[in-house]
Structure 1
Amino acid sequence: MKTVLFSIYALLFFFNANGQTKNDVLFQAKIENRNWDHLYIKDTDYNTVQIIDINNAGFFKDTLSVQDGLYLLFDGTEYFKIYLKKGYDLQVTMDANNFRETIQYTGIGSDVNNFLAKESAIEVDYDYGKISAIKKSKKIDKIIAEKENASIKRLKANTTFDQDFIALELSAYKSHTDELKKYFGELREIN
């Protein structure tokens, strides 16, 4: 009888743990030189969705109950984009003093998140000064379109990416392009 009861409990535990994996995101990290004792997960409007405590060794592990989509991780100093989807089992390592160069994801969901990390580095290094020096709006629009097309090409080169992720990124590229055109159009009018 004890063996049967133990087997039932073991099966219930297994199914419960398995259900969490499919309906939640398992997320863990090792952060060297952490900025804060917490890591914040924010939606794209910068509203805090979840706060994760980081231990003194810079490690955390948590189960996140979030909707599939793009989020921002905030370590107290820097923001970086992350894509979370139910069923992901994601691990990240980074050095907060040099996170763009050291951030590395492994596990389920690492492919799209490593892509986002690389795209973030490209965006930070982009020379926006060359756009602000241009006086003609058609030339500005052309350079901004070339930037967007290069991003789309890099995204679509990854044929194994989740289609929902691709759709979100394409929408984000479009919004970013529209914002750049508006900003540089207004800047040109001021000058």
Structure 2
Amino acid sequence: MKKVIYFLVLVAIASCENQPKDYVSISGQITDKNSDSVVIRNRTFSKTIPVKEDGSFSDTLKVESGTYSLYDGGESTAVFLKNGYDLHLTLDTKMFDETIKYAGNGAEQSNFLAAKSLLQEKLLDLDALLLLDSIDREEKFVSIKTELTDFYNSDKKIDTSIVNSSLKSIDPMLDSYRRYINEEIAMKKALPKGAPSPSFEDFENYNGEKTSLADLKGKYVYIDVWATWCGPCKAEIPSLKKVEKEYHDKNIAFVSMSIDDDRSHSGSWEKANEDWKKMVHEKELGGIQLFAPKGWQTEFVKDYRINGIPRFILIDPEGNIVSASAPRPSSEELIKLFDEENI
């Protein structure tokens, strides 16, 4: 009788082990972590997972199948979760998108999403698109749509919900880029080279003082309009530091203007200001670090028609506009512009 019972127990255990898990196991290893936690969320779900000092984390989640955002305190990435998956993530925050890798059961779905993000970033290069005339630009958009469509349909193992939503998003995404480019063109007409620059006065400086654009007269001024939550903004930091170092003895001031506000920091202006100061300190940001007093509603930001960030501006020593939408620090075009101005 004992043997029969023992056999039945073994069968029951084996049966339980073979049953699919009704939860997701997720773990990770983050190099140069941005925070002491990561957040996984979508419109109806949110879970904060502690990150240890060594950058590791792990947890189990019961979820509805679908695409979620994983936010590490600095940037976010898409991850596809489904009960039964066992995922392990590795990433280095210094090269966030380029280093994201998933392993384990279900990893191919999230690796596809990571590759999708990199491809979109490569194809939708705003600086390059703005250099094209209207006919060539539209031909480029047609080419981009074809390449994205082919990529989204390239792997039959990818969940159909990912493929279908990706395909559905192509036209709206390209239309948003068209609108942005048209706004940029209109902005450059309204703010041409040589026109007096919009100004700012007595903005809070990280060094505890107040800074106005007039204080910098006599120098070229390269302004980076950014925010702590903006991934593309932070991606420019290493390049900006490099340019600052190369031009530290030239007649140019480098200004970084944060437009962090209460809407993106738990409804608190104080929290926005604290997060700005924290990132300036942790990232050892150089140049002149300013905090725009009204975020997006700051007059200087509105006068320059800034609807997306990062945005870079170059002003000449007399306070006139050189470029209302200057090249990014990571672009070779910036050094060409500096050379043209004999900086």
TM-score range, shorter chain: 0.7 to 0.9
* Alpha-carbon offset, residue 162 of structure 1: 1.7
Alignment partner of 1:131 is 2:126: no
Q: Secondary structure at the match of 1:34?
A: coil
Identity within the alignment, %: 25
CA-to-partner distance for each residue in 1:66-106, whole Å, 9 max, x for gaps?
22222211111111112222322111112222232322111
Alignment partner of 1:96 is 2:93: yes
* Alpha-carbon offset, residue 39 of structure 1: 0.6
CA distance, structure 2, for counterparts of residue 166 and residue 128 of structure 1: 25
Aligned to 2:40: 41
Q: Which amino acid aligns with 2:179?
A: K
Aligned to 1:173: 170
Aligned to 1:116: 113
CA distance, structure 1, for counterparts of residue 172 and residue 61 of structure 2: 27
How much is the aligned-residue C-alpha RMSD, in angstroms? 2.9
Alignment partner of 1:153 is 2:150: yes
Q: Secondary structure at the match of 2:80?
A: strand
Identify which range, 126-135 or 112-121, moves more after superposition. Answer: 126-135
* Alpha-carbon offset, residue 5 of structure 1: 8.6
Against the structure 1 CA distance between its residues 98 and 10, is the aligned structure 2 distance closer, same or farther, given a 3 Å change threshold?
A: farther
Aligned to 2:12: 11
Against the structure 1 CA distance between its residues 58 and 169, is the aligned structure 2 distance closer, same or farther, given a 3 Å change threshold?
A: same
Alignment partner of 1:106 is 2:103: yes
TM-score normalized by the length of structure 1 = 0.79
Could you tell me which of 132, 137, 146 is aligned with 1:140? 137
Identify which range, 121-130 or 71-80, moves more after superposition. Answer: 121-130
Q: Secondary structure at the match of 1:83?
A: strand
CA distance, structure 2, for counterparts of residue 51 and residue 182 of structure 1: 36
Could you tell me which runs of 5 or more consecutive residues in structure 1 were left unpaired when the two chains were aligned.
none
Could you tell me which of 52, 68, 86 is aligned with 2:49? 52
CA distance, structure 1, for counterparts of residue 13 and residue 172 of structure 2: 46
CA distance, structure 1, for counterparts of residue 7 and residue 63 of structure 2: 33
CA distance, structure 2, for counterparts of residue 177 and residue 96 of structure 1: 28
CA-to-partner distance for each residue in 1:20-51, whole Å, 9 max, x for gaps?
x2x322211111221111011132x6x86111
Identify which range, 68-77 or 125-134, moves more after superposition. Answer: 125-134
* Alpha-carbon offset, residue 17 of structure 1: 8.9
CA-to-partner distance for each residue in 1:111-131, whole Å, 9 max, x for gaps?
121122222223334421122
CA distance, structure 1, for counterparts of residue 52 and residue 41 of structure 2: 20
Q: Which amino acid aligns with 2:56?
A: F
Q: Which structure would you say has the larger Rg?
A: 2
Identify which range, 118-127 or 145-154, moves more after superposition. Answer: 118-127
Q: Secondary structure at the match of 1:92?
A: strand
Identify which range, 124-133 or 99-108, moves more after superposition. Answer: 124-133
CA contact (8 A) 1:145 1:177 kept: no
TM-score normalized by the length of structure 2 = 0.47
Against the structure 1 CA distance between its residues 155 and 41, is the aligned structure 2 distance closer, same or farther, given a 3 Å change threshold?
A: same
CA distance, structure 1, for counterparts of residue 45 and residue 149 of structure 2: 29
CA contact (8 A) 1:144 1:180 kept: no
Against the structure 1 CA distance between its residues 18 and 132, is the aligned structure 2 distance closer, same or farther, given a 3 Å change threshold?
A: same
Q: Secondary structure at the match of 1:150?
A: helix
Q: Which amino acid aligns with 1:15?
A: C
Higher relative contact order (CA 8 A, sep 6+): 1
CA contact (8 A) 1:39 1:74 kept: yes
